[in-house]
Amino acid sequence: MAETVLPPPLTLAVGDRVVYPNQGVCRVTSVESKEVAGQTLTFVTMKREEDGAVVMVPEAKVRSIGLRKVAGRADVDRVFSFLRSDSDKANLDWKQRARTNVERMSQGGLMGLAEVVKGLQVLSELRPLPTKERELYDNARHLLVAELSASLSIAEVDAEDSVDVVLFPPGRERPKRTAEEFRTATGDEDGMELGEDLLGLGGEIELGGESEPEEPEAEVAAEPPPKAKAAGKAKGEKKPAAKKPAGEKKATEKKAAARKPAAKPEKKAAPKKPAPKAAAKKPAAKPAKKK
């Protein structure tokens, strides 16, 4: 994990409006000392403006969680100029993209939210967003609009329309992008394939099962899919069979799914070997029975 630079210390007073990362705009309702497990700690109590949810944070943790004051006018101007700019950087590597977006959401401030919104909007011009990213886009947009609304003291609907007038200018057609445009920006195509390292994702990144397969599906149109899929299946067949015992459910399911496609290449390569199938099954079954 990359080290993150902590923001400057924040002094909070009752009535201050702050932004709690990933939660939204809150108002400080009290700053009081409490004794917890024999220690006297100062807690900052905040109320989320959206729904009135109450959050208590130890004062010592305020910096590390990324709590910050509502963005000022200068920040807002920078956000609008960024949204207006032609920075179409959208990373095609979904893992990198997910990591960056999670970081931007929690540590990036108002500009981070704008980057997530713009990045995903640009990406959506290439292909529909997977479910998880669509949710992320909606969350980022919600937080961005709420903070802009608080910062400019305008209604949320006006803040949202202000953002969208820039992102979707009136009278202009939605551009259609190609994967080539993004490839030059990112320089690789790692994100186009789903390898085994998918399983090694960090626990902090929420990437549901739904979002993962959707990406390659969308890119299948541009990429040669059958080879990649066949290669993936071939890898999937051999490894579980070699490493894992036959007792596990997942392995049996994979084997069952793999048997049919596996039989064909074997037949083609060595047409005289139908017998090893039965032979291979029997030794696997016998130890299981003995146990």
Partner 1 sequence: MIRLVTLDAYDPKVIDRLCKVLYTAFGVGCEHAGDMPLPGGQSEPFDAQALLQALPSPRAYADDKILYLTSRKLKPRSLVSGDVPSSGFSNQNGPRALVSSAGVKDPEAGLKLIARHAMHQLGHTWELHHCLDPRCAMYPPWTLNYDAGDTFFDTFCRDKSEQKIRLAKS
135 binds partner 1 (CB under 8 A): yes
- Least Å distance, CB 156 to partner 1, is 4
Please state at what angle helix 225-243 crosses helix 249-269, rounded to 10 degrees.
120
Mapping DSSP to helix (H, G, I), strand (E, B) and coil, where does residue 102 land? helix
Query: How many CB atoms neighbour CB 167 within 10 A?
Result: 14
288 binds partner 1 (CB under 8 A): no
- Please, which of residues 70-99 interact with partner 1 by CB under 8 A? 76, 80
Q: Which is nearer to partner 1, 152 or 185 (CB)?
A: 152
d(CA 217, CA 210): 11
Backbone φ and ψ of 28, nearest 5°: -70, 125
For residue 81, the Cα-to-chain-centroid distance in whole angstroms is 25
- Least Å distance, CB 170 to partner 1, is 4
- Least Å distance, CB 100 to partner 1, is 19
Binding mask 146-165 for partner 1 (x = CB under 8 A): ------x-xxxxxxxxxxxx
Binding mask 266-285 for partner 1 (x = CB under 8 A): --------------------
Please state at what angle helix 211-220 crosses helix 225-243, rounded to 10 degrees.
140
Query: How many residues interact with partner 1 (rule CB under 8 A)?
Result: 35
- Please, which of residues 219-258 interact with partner 1 by CB under 8 A? none
Query: How many CB atoms neighbour CB 113 within 10 A?
Result: 27
Binding mask 163-182 for partner 1 (x = CB under 8 A): xxxx-x-xxxxx--------
DSSP 245-286: -TTSHHHHHHHHHHHHHHHHHHHHH-TT-SHHHHHHHHHHHH
- Least Å distance, CB 92 to partner 1, is 17
53 binds partner 1 (CB under 8 A): no
Summarize as ranges the residues that interact with partner 1 (CB under 8 A): 76, 80, 120-121, 124, 128-129, 131, 134-135, 137-138, 141-142, 145, 152, 154-166, 168, 170-174
